[in-house]
Amino acid sequence: MKPRCWLAMLLVVALTGLPGCRKKGGAAADAFRQAYDTEADWNDAQHVIPLGYEQAQGKRVFYAQCVWCHADATPAGPSNRSNVTPVPPLMNDGATLNSASDDYMQNIITLGGSAMGKSAMMPPYGQTLSQDDIRAVIAFTRAIAQPPYQPPAHPGSKYSVK
């Protein structure tokens, strides 16, 4: 056999041995990132919104504490929303809630409406829910918002300066 052929063969062997030529697991890994839980869009039951872990925990807290006044249907049937004046916003009301920052939401849930210059009918949950629970509720709100919530333009921690 001619040396040139050896050269060619060796090169072929070397190249196929390189790991870079192998198929990556990226596509398959996507299947594992399926939603932890889901929530049907309140305005359109056909549209199912995937929820991550934190949003799913928020869903749990929401359906225990908030649903009574911030939704029109509750697990027990009718909602208390119509009994409250001023009428509380629906939790998926993006037009109202998208403009509120995460910090504002965290404060009004923790300290109650009166602390933030809003209705005292919104009670404070700072001694009932953990801060993680409250963050989770906000994450859930953002997930179900219609029109959809857009996170602020500059992501990253506000405490870290370049």
Considering the rule CB under 8 A, would residue 76 count as an interface residue with another protein? yes
Selected from 1, 44, 46, 162, the binder of another protein by CB under 8 A is 162
Beta-carbon contacts of 108 under 8 Å, excluding residues fewer than 6 positions away, are: 100, 115, 116, 118, 122
Beta-carbon contacts of 12 under 8 Å, excluding residues fewer than 6 positions away, are: none
Q: Per-residue string for binding with another protein, 99-118, x by CB under 8 A?
A: ---------------x----
Q: Computed over its alpha carbons, how large is the radius of gyration of the chain?
A: 25
Q: Per-residue string for binding with another protein, 50-69, x by CB under 8 A?
A: --xxx--x--x---xx--xx
Selected from 1, 28, 45, 153, the binder of another protein by CB under 8 A is 28
Is residue 46 within a helix (H) or strand (E), and if so which, with residue range?
A: strand 44-51
Footprint of another protein (CB under 8 A):
3, 6-7, 10-11, 14, 17-20, 24-26, 28-29, 31-37, 52-54, 57, 60, 64-65, 68-69, 74-78, 80, 83-84, 114, 119-125, 127-129, 132, 135, 151, 155-157, 160-162
